[in-house]
Amino acid sequence: MSSAPRGNVMHVITGLDVGGAETMLATLAIAEAASGAPPIVVSLTSGGLIADRLTAAGVPVLDLAMVRGRPGIGGVMKLAGLIRRHQPTVVQSWMYHANLASTAALAVSGRRARTTHYWGIRCSDMDLDGYGPRFRLVVKAGARLSRWPDAVTCNSEAGIAVHEALGYRPRRFILIDNGIDTVRFKPDSEARVEVRRIHGIAADAPVLAVVARVDPMKDYSTLLAALDRLPDVTAIVMGEGTERLPDRPGLVRLGRCDDVPRVLAAADLLVSASAYGEGFSNAIAEGMACGLPVVATDVGDARRIVGATGTVVPPRDPVALGAAIGDFFQSSDRCEQGRAARRRIEAEFDLDGAIVRFRALHRGKD
């Protein structure tokens, strides 16, 4: 198809609460708005902090008021009407439910032949048994319909491999890594002192940070078991539900956090204990941009992101996780590891690179 004119892109996403896909969409849309070509963002569900951020930046946000996890025919018809009204040249959908809803809406709208459609897949080896029969049906339907879009964008090599194994057979997969804002995520010595003071953490105390909601895929049980082996290490955990984790010495539970870079500045190490499901982990890359080495489980593209700047251990293994964390705090080159981690993000996973790739794709030049 011909290249898309500026400002003629519609993004469709399941919801606009805080998450990796939502954050990447917002970053891309805001960058396009700043260049004079704001896209339209359509959310299947209503509300969310990312919706507020987009609106404040001048990006039009529409929602279909659908019930999460249930993309009914009414919402599909509303989306078809929006497509007819705005006549986008490109529809970029994000995540399983939005992929299917966009496919159906484009078919109903009568504009499929004039609209390039890209699906977006953001995860890897999801434990489908843990998410109920409806979710499994959505993933399987995606496999059956995967040749309908013009291409499927993924943010991880692991995600491509896993979905090929699930039977996804698109015309092509396109890998676009997440991009990290290294201006926002950076070392901050003043914040380090202030955050430690607020939480009563000594200046020389060993501190790790975890940025993850409480969810089976994030595997807080393995993390907490690893921390049992590290009584002298303080762990700052942030993400929805972390405020409800068991109270224990050395565990700072922040819940949902709106200033992640500032909190990360207080840490020496970023830990990701995920058991499955990650594609490209923003948490890992953002920690590295803040100058933090990483100990991560071998899930998704963690190994590719971390490279030689951290340690990758098997998932669901608290002994290995605890040992890797302990070894880090015994090492003598922690500062150089942190500098190397930031350099890796700047060289390989910077925000501008991701924006350039999406722009080229949406203009028909990829």
User: What CATH number does residue 312 fall under?
Assistant: 3.40.50.2000
Which amino acid would we find at residue 137? Answer: L
Residue 366 has pLDDT above 80, yes or no: no
Averaged pLDDT for residues 85-97 = 96
Model pLDDT for residues 219-271, shown as the tens digit of each residue: 999 999 999 999 999 999 999 999 999 999 999 999 999 899 999 999 999 99
What is the pTM for the complete model shown? Answer: 0.89
Cβ contacts of residue 336 below 8 Å, gap of 6+? none
Predicted local distance difference test score (pLDDT) of residue 70? 62
Structural domain includes residue 220: yes
At 2, the pLDDT band (50, 70, 90 cuts) reads very low
pLDDT of residue 1: 37
Residues 25 and 171 in one domain: yes
> For the chain, how many structural domains are there in total?
2
Do 340 and 356 sit in the same domain of this protein?
A: no
What average pLDDT score do residues 43-54 get? Answer: 94
Q: Convert the pLDDT of each residue in 128-179 to its tens digit.
A: 777 788 889 999 999 999 999 999 999 999 999 999 999 999 999 999 999 9
pLDDT tens digit string along 307-343? 999 999 999 999 999 999 999 999 988 999 999 999 9
CB atoms inside a 10 Å sphere around CB 242: 23
Whether 4 is in a domain gets the answer no
Mean pLDDT, all residues of the chain:
94
Between 89 and 6, name the one with better pLDDT.
89
Question: What is the extent of the structural domain holding 27?
Answer: 9-179+350-362
Average pLDDT over residues 17-40: 91
Ramachandran angles phi, psi of 333, nearest 5°: -115, 35
**Cα separation, 23 vs 194, whole angstroms:** 26
Helices and strands: H and E segment counts in the chain? 14, 13
pLDDT(7) > 90: no
Residues 173 and 217 in one domain: no
More confident of the two residues 93 and 332: 93
Pairing of strands 173-175, 90-94: unpaired
Distance of alpha carbon 84 from alpha carbon 40, whole angstroms = 13
- Edge-first strand order for the sheet with 173-175 is 61-63, 40-43, 9-13, 90-94, 116-121, 151-154, 173-175
Compute the residue count for the chain.
366
- Is residue 146 located within the same domain as residue 274? no
In a domain, 184, yes or no: no
92 and 158 share one domain: yes
Q: From CA 169, how far away is CA 83, in angstroms rounded?
A: 26
Residues 199 and 305 both lie in one domain: yes
Residue 69: pLDDT band (50, 70, 90) is low
d(CA 36, CA 211): 33
Average pLDDT over residues 87-115: 96
Residues 111 and 95 in one domain: yes
Question: Is residue 3 in a domain?
Answer: no
pLDDT of residue 127: 77
Q: Same domain, yes or no, for 66 and 150?
A: yes
Residue 2 lies inside a defined structural domain of this protein: no
How many angstroms separate the CA atoms of 146 and 119, rounded? 9
Give yes or no: residues 125 and 211 share one domain. no
Provide the token pair at 283. 């948490």
The reply to whether 26 falls in a domain is yes
> Reduced to 3 DSSP states, what percent helix, strand and coil does the chain have, rounded to the nearest 5?
45, 15, 40
Q: Which segments of 255-317 does DSSP mark as H helices, in order?
A: 260-264, 282-289, 302-306
